[in-house]
Structure 1
Amino acid sequence: MKIANDTVVSLTYILKADNAEGEIIQVADQENPLEFIYGNGQLLPAFEEHLMGLEKGSTYTFTLTPEQGYGEFDPESIVDLDINIFRQSPEGEQMLFEGNIIPMMDQQGNRYEGRVMRVGENSVKMDFNHPLAGKTLYFTGTILDVRNATPDELAHGHVHGPHGHQH
């Protein structure tokens, strides 16, 4: 069976920065493969496009530009926030240390994750860029399995089973 919309894909991958010699960023192996419903909007569209039509046993290698991945690094996504924002909740100040990723919400209810860059006396410098923003992404991997998604999986929007969601 070939990868197409509404199929469940199980695959391994090694994600490296820039090219085959780049730093390893993430790995999904046979014990912990990536499983998803193809065409369901769960993954980067360009990632899925490279997998279309592949079948069990196929190997793949491709590169995504920053635009196809998580966008260019945006200096305007680095902001100084008033430290009092974090003092509104009991655990707020405990989360303020360099490198920590903090879930946040703007006044319109949009959710963001920001990385703490610096904690000052009155402000916190946060980076709201995706950690992979500005990076060229090099993927290599193998398709482990392709099958039709069940009606329940399609209704729930995620894969069920050993490596998927359990109900």
Structure 2
Amino acid sequence: MKIQSNSVVALTYDLYTTENGEEVFVEKATEEQPLVFLYGVGMMLPKFEENLSGLGTGDAYDFHLAAVDAYGEKNESSITELPADMFEGMDKPEIGSVLPLQDNEGNQFRARVIGVTETGIQVDLNHPMAGQHLHFKGQIINVREATEEELSHGHVHGADGHEAH
């Protein structure tokens, strides 16, 4: 079976970015712990899926995504300062730490601490991989049709479709 909308895809990947002109390894999914997802329902980066379209079990892939097609360019307006009184009674976060935050509508997101002053904590709300070009290399392990239950739930129930909830 070839990858198409509403198929369940299990794959391996090695992910690299480029820093100072050098390719740097970021993370991987292995045959023992593959990435398994429902294709075509908006779970993955659109250009990631586009590069996998039509591949089948056993096929290898190797492609690059420009930052704009991955997590976007870094947006300088997404760097802000949180008032120090938000952290009263707590240890001030360290530079590089990640803070779990929530907006007024209950949406959860993360902010990376980039500075600490007496008056506040400077945070970067950009995705950690914003501004980075991505390089994926891997292999398709399995492609199958999604079950009706998976389609109605909008997510995969395991590589073989039988994961308990």
When the two structures are superposed, what TM-score results if normalisation uses the length of structure 1? 0.88
Q: Among the aligned pairs, what percent are the same residue?
A: 43
Measure, in 2, the Cα distance between the counterparts of 1:95 and 1:125: 11
Q: In the alignment, which residue of structure 1 is the partner of 2:146?
A: 149
Change (3 A) 1:50 1:18: same
Between stretches 38-47 and 148-157, larger displacement belongs to: 148-157
Consecutive unaligned residues of structure 2, counting only runs of 5 or more, are: none
Q: In the alignment, which residue of structure 1 is the partner of 2:74?
A: 73
Give the 5 Å matches for 1:27-42.
Answer: 27-42=28-43
2:120 is matched by which residue type in structure 1? Answer: S
Give the 5 Å matches for 1:2-17.
Answer: 2-17=2-17
Measure, in 2, the Cα distance between the counterparts of 1:160 and 1:6: 13
Measure, in 1, the Cα distance between the counterparts of 2:27 and 2:78: 24
Consecutive unaligned residues of structure 1, counting only runs of 5 or more, are: none
Moved over 6 A (4+): none
Between stretches 106-115 and 35-44, larger displacement belongs to: 106-115
Cα distance, 1:94 vs structure 2: 4.3
When the two structures are superposed, what TM-score results if normalisation uses the length of structure 2? 0.89
SS of residue in 2 equivalent to 1:155: helix
SS of residue in 2 equivalent to 1:67: helix
User: Does structure 2 retain, via aligned residues, the 8 Å contact 1:33–1:163?
Assistant: no
Q: In the alignment, which residue of structure 2 is the partner of 1:104?
A: 101
Q: In the alignment, which residue of structure 1 is the partner of 2:120?
A: 123
Q: Please list the CA deviations of residues 34-72 of structure 1 after superposition, one character each: whole Å capped at 9, or x if unmatched.
A: 000000111100000000100000000110001000111
SS of residue in 1 equivalent to 2:68: coil
User: Does structure 2 retain, via aligned residues, the 8 Å contact 1:11–1:141?
Assistant: yes
SS of residue in 1 equivalent to 2:62: strand
Cα distance, 1:108 vs structure 2: 4.3
Measure, in 2, the Cα distance between the counterparts of 1:6 and 1:111: 27
